[in-house]
Amino acid sequence: MNELTINLQQRSGTPLYEQIYSYIKSDIQGGHLKSGEKLPSTRALCKYLEVSRSTVELAYEQLLSEGYVEAVPYRGYFVAEINGLYQLDTQSHECSEKTEQEKKTFRYDFTPNGVDLNSFPYNTWRKLAKECLVDDRAELFRLGNPQGEPGLRDAICSYLHQARGVNCSPEQIIVGAGNDYLLMLLTTVLGTEHRIAFENPTYKREYQLFCNMSYEVCTVDMDSRGMSVSGLEKSGADIAFVMPSHQYPLGIVMPVTRRQEILKWANQAEERYIIEDDYDSEFRYKGKPIPALQGYDRNGKVIYIGTFSKSIAPAIRISYIVLPRPLLDMYREKSSFLNSTVSKVDQMILQRFIKEGYYERHLNKTRALYKNRHDVLLGNLKGLKQMFDISGEHAGVHLLLHCRKEISETELIRRAEEKDVKVYGLSEYYVEPQTETGATILLGYANMNEKKICEALEILRGVWME
């Protein structure tokens, strides 16, 4: 064979060698080119297609590396035997891509998980990254301390003590790539012989994670002060997973009396612990900051977990866990062989970002930005107050609307979506379904500017108050 008629698109964004490669690969997979069949020589094909020889050679090399063709010395290229070769189901892949592309996007999206990435300090981060890499230091690219680099842990420790009232030393901190990883690491320390109680409603991903790790899990309903302690007692759990500083999604701030009650519960048995997820505690717009529950702990019962994903950017993927000293000893015995999941370079950048004051300035800027959006949202909700009660304000990056009329969440969401506004229902956060019929809507404001918030609320007034 000396010819392959390939319709090359010269002005296409796809390189010519990739078009040749894709055509031949498709013909091989489709059976149009049989096993053992000889392909045109690179010289003959480049002349026939009127392209450079290096273009054809690149295409053949790619086919060769993927096992679609074989090179026989002095004879040329032949189609390989592909019966046992794994083939990607391109049709289903294309369908999944199409489904993803067709996923509805909205002009106004009140997602409660939003982060304003426009406020990310790109120039500062870039400067720190360059400074960290200015020297050719091979140790930067070697495996580091399994718990995270000492300098970063020291910076986190200082921040937690000053900003969150957490009492710990750097040796109690473990740095990891996201909360999910750290919670999985925690399971290797605790073992699976525990029953874990979650707040209901709650952030379902962490609930599901412990389910998948073969833990016995249950839920305890909330009251106006947080997780019910009487419900916790009845649950038979020995670990309570709570978000006391700003519960997600209800936005409840657990008062001191309830915190003391939960600590008392934990102190009543040796194997009882509290996992404190300090979710979006950095953002509070009224009154003094609420100290972490861990700061009240005197008996090593609170396991504290936090993240920089919400306060800096989701892609940073750096979280941390503070282990009580008894569990720290267990970690060293059982799990310290596991390497850190965050690169030393990223840790060094974040260390300098915190220690040189950039993190504090970024937090202050972001807090002011979110407060302004929070205030604009509250101000523009006045027109809906005859239909909704508001809760969860003054902290975090979302609030809740509790509908007083007999209308379902589904209907409220549907009406909004018809006008290109996305809102979210509270019911999706309940593990155990509720018998209450009142509809509750979550409105997040982190990734919508003031103008969009005003426009979206004007639309919601029109479709909800009709």
pLDDT of residue 103: 62
Average pLDDT over residues 214-219: 93
pLDDT of residue 46: 86
CA atoms within 13 Å, Cβ hemisphere of 280: 30
How far is 155 from 175, CA to CA, in rounded Å?
A: 12
- Residue 394 backbone zone (phi > 0: left; psi -120 to 50: alpha; other: beta): left
Domains of the chain: 1-103 (1.10.10.10), 108-117+361-464 (3.90.1150.10), 120-359 (3.40.640.10)
pLDDT of residue 160: 95
Give the amino acid at 192: T
Average pLDDT over residues 204-217: 92
pLDDT of residue 81: 82
Instruction: Give every CB contact of residue 338 below 8 A, 6+ residues apart in sequence.
Output: 146, 185, 188
Average pLDDT, the chain: 89
pLDDT (tens digit per residue) in 76-105: 899 888 765 555 454 544 444 444 444 678
Q: What is the pTM of this model?
A: 0.77
pLDDT (tens digit per residue) in 38-63: 999 988 888 888 888 888 888 898 88
Pairing of strands 108-109, 421-422: parallel
Instruction: Give every CB contact of residue 394 below 8 A, 6+ residues apart in sequence.
Output: 284, 285, 286, 287, 374
How far is 148 from 340, CA to CA, in rounded Å?
A: 6
CA 309 to chain centre: 7
pLDDT (tens digit per residue) in 105-149: 899 999 998 888 888 999 999 999 998 888 667 777 778 899 999
Both tokens of 18, joined, read: 């990739």
pLDDT at 163 over 50: yes
pLDDT (tens digit per residue) in 419-450: 999 999 999 999 877 766 589 999 999 999 99
Pairing of strands 195-200, 216-223: parallel
Q: Where are the alpha helices (DSSP H) in 241-386?
A: 256-267, 325-334, 344-355, 358-380
Of 60, 41, 50, 32, nearest to 2 by C-alpha is 41
How far is 219 from 214, CA to CA, in rounded Å?
A: 16
